[in-house]
Structure 1
Amino acid sequence: MTDTPPDRLCNNPASPHYDEALLERGIGIRFNGVEKTNVEEYCVSEGWVRVAVGKTVDRHGHPLTMKLKGTVEPYFRT
């Protein structure tokens, strides 16, 4: 494995950007210089993250998300 996180990653198994091995390794996200722990998906090149909005879920049981634009800095925790 490389020491560089991917450009785009999602923690939903139905997404084409899902990668279980990377998620098990542990990915941290700094968004606009602040550590975020509720990120569902991110894209570095486009500069956005999707964060969960509270504990609200849709009819399929997935969390409702909100897209925020800014500087995204992913890193490996371990």
Structure 2
Amino acid sequence: MTDPQVPPLPDRLSIDPKSPHHVAAVFQHDIGIRFNGKERHDVEEYCISEGWIRVPAGKTLDRKGHPLMIKLNGKVEAFYR
């Protein structure tokens, strides 16, 4: 995008505000994640350079009530919609 108001997408991004990889300015825009050629809507965190995403493992929760995450390896692309 050529819009100067849109920040560049970081190599690693998390939707969890407590994470050091959370960038609030990026979430003011609509973001898409393509994993192995298919668009995913359940991605909690990604890293493009290392080639992984974290997604919830079904409806399983940890002892604090947060979804259990699994790490999937593959080709990751992040983009603005």
Local SS of the residue matching 2:68: strand
The 8 Å contact of residues 29 and 35 in structure 1, kept in 2 or not, is answered as yes
Local SS of the residue matching 2:50: coil
* Distance 1:57-1:24 versus aligned 2 partners, 3 A rule: farther
Larger radius of gyration: 2
Structure 2 residue runs of 5 or longer lacking an equivalent are none
Q: CA RMSD in A?
A: 1.5
The residue number in structure 2 matching 1:6 is: 10
Counting only pairs closer than 5 Å after superposition, residues 8-23 of structure 1 correspond to structure 2 as 8-23=12-27
Moved runs in structure 1, 4+ residues, more than 3 A?
Answer: 1-4
* Distance 1:13-1:3 versus aligned 2 partners, 3 A rule: closer
What percentage of aligned pairs have identical amino acids? 56
Q: Which protein is richer in strand relative to its size? A: 1
Give the TM-score normalised by structure 1: 0.87
Local SS of the residue matching 1:39: coil
Q: Which amino acid aligns with 2:71?
A: K
**Distance across 1 between alignment mates of 2:6 and 2:50:** 21
**Distance across 1 between alignment mates of 2:34 and 2:62:** 26
Q: Determine which of 59, 63, 71 is the counterpart of 1:67.
A: 71
**Distance across 1 between alignment mates of 2:18 and 2:65:** 13
Q: Which has the higher contact order (CA 8 A, sep 6+)?
A: 1
